[in-house]
Structures are given as structure tokens and as C-alpha cells.
Amino acid sequence: MIERGLIERVPGPGRAVRHRLTDKGEDLRERAGEVVRETFAESFSALSGEELQTFGDLLARVLAR
């Protein structure tokens, strides 16, 4: 990702090295987010609002374990 110009290394506290998105990386993240949102919307479009709420509640229960 560094070689592709998507992230860069920056100094952190002490000897730590952190990574952060470059402008190019941030642009890619935003564009990918749009694709993910569109995919989710299409994937769950057959569910009603009530069904989506039930699905979300069930997922939350599973993930809480």
C-alpha cells in the first residue's frame, strides 16, 4: 500500500511508527465506501423496515457473544 501511494509511515510516540492514509488512499476509501453502501442497499432491498430491524437485532445478539 505504501508503494501504491495509499498510505504513508509517520512517527508515533517513542519508537512507534504509525500509518495514515494519503490523499490518494482517502479518495480510494471514499469510493470503496460508496460501492459497499450500494451493495448493501441492493442486497437487503427485499427486506422491509421491520425485517431489517429484526436482522440488525439478531446480528447484535450474535456479535455480543
Q: Is the pTM of this model over 0.75?
A: no
Residue 36 lies in a domain: yes
Per-residue pLDDT tens over the stretch 9-52: 999 999 999 999 999 999 999 999 999 999 999 999 999 999 99
14 lies in which domain range? 7-64
SS3 17: strand
Residue 40 lies in a domain: yes
The residue to which cell 510516540 is assigned: 13
Number of domains in the chain: 1
Per-residue pLDDT tens over the stretch 22-34: 999 999 999 999 9
